Structure 1
C-alpha cells in the first residue's frame, strides 16, 4: 500500500519540522525519564518505567506514520494548475447561500487539514463539491443537515 499523498509545499515542510521536533526534543526527554525510572530499581513493579516505555512506543509510532506520509508525498506544483477554478492547494472564498455567510477555505491533502484554520481535505465532501468550480459558480454540497448551496466568490493561490 504505497499510495501517494498529495501535499502542498507548506504542509510538507510543516510535517518535516514536526518530525525533527519529536525526534530531537520529545524522544530524548522520554529516554531520560526511562533512564531515571530504571534507576529506581525493580522494573517489574516500576509504574513510571512502564508508563514512559509506553509513551516512547506511541511517540515512535507517530514519528513512523509521519515519515511514511513524507516518503509517499507528492508535492503539487501549483504553478501547473489552472488559476481560474477550484483545485488542490487553492484558497477559495464562498458564500453560504442559505445564510449569507462568507467563508474561506484552503483545499489540502491528508495530514495538512486543520479545520480551525480553514484547511479542509480535498477528499472531503465539501472539497469534492467545490473542485472544478469557477468564480460565480454555485456548488450543492451534502452536509449532515441536508444540501447546502455555496457560491464561489474568489479563488487564490497563496503559496504558489
Structure 2
C-alpha cells in the first residue's frame, strides 16, 4: 500500500479505528489461545490445526498493519467545502436511473470505506468516477460489467 491520503468520513474513520481495536484486543487473544490448543495436538510440522491458526494470525497481523497505515494517512472529508453544487468526496447524492425510473441514494467515499450494499460507493468505482464533479441535472452514462447505466443527478447534499 502506498502512502497516498485516504479521504474518509468521520464515521468511516471511527469504524476503522473500532475494527483495529477489536483486532488488537480481542482477535489477537483468541488466536493466542488457539495456538496454545493447536500445539497441544503434538508435532507442529504435521499439525494442520497449528498451520491454520498461524495463517489466521498472519492475516490478522496484515490487516492490523493495513488499518494502521490507513489511519496514519487519513484525512477527514470537510463537507463544509462543498455547498452542494457539485458531487465531491463525501457528497450524498440522489440519482434517477433513467431507464428504470428509480431513485437511488449514494454517498461518495474512498474505497476503504465503500459498502455498496448500504449505498457507500467508491470514488474510483465506475459510478463514482462518472458522477464525481457533476452538478444537479447532469446526466451520465456509466459502463458497468452488466452493461450500461443512465443516471440523472437529482440532488447533492
Give TM-score scaled by structure 1 length. 0.89
Distance 1:147 1:47 in 2: 47
State the match for 1:133 in structure 2. 134
Distance 2:60 2:31 in 1: 9
1:116 Cα deviation (Å)? Answer: 0.6
- Please give the secondary structure, in 2, of the residue aligned with 1:111: helix
Distance 1:16 1:4 in 2: 16
Any stretches of 5+ residues in structure 1 without a counterpart?
A: none
Q: How many residues align?
A: 156
State the match for 2:124 in structure 1. 123
State the match for 2:107 in structure 1. 106
**Alpha-carbon spacing, 1:57–1:151, altered in 2? closer, same or farther (3 Å):** same
Structure 1 stretches of 4+ with a deviation exceeding 4 A read none
State the match for 1:53 in structure 2. 54
1:82 partnered with 2:83: yes
Deviates more, 1:17-26 or 1:40-49: 40-49
State the match for 1:150 in structure 2. 151
The answer (yes or no) to whether the contact 2:111–2:121 under 8 Å persists in 1 is no
Any stretches of 5+ residues in structure 2 without a counterpart?
A: none
- Please give the secondary structure, in 1, of the residue aligned with 2:49: helix
1:13 Cα deviation (Å)? Answer: 0.8
**Alpha-carbon spacing, 1:32–1:129, altered in 2? closer, same or farther (3 Å):** same
Distance 1:80 1:91 in 2: 14
State the match for 2:20 in structure 1. 19
Distance 2:43 2:6 in 1: 46
Aligned-residue Cα RMSD (Å) equals 1.6
Distance 1:145 1:31 in 2: 44
**Alpha-carbon spacing, 1:82–1:128, altered in 2? closer, same or farther (3 Å):** farther
Give TM-score scaled by structure 2 length. 0.90
Deviates more, 1:82-91 or 1:19-28: 82-91
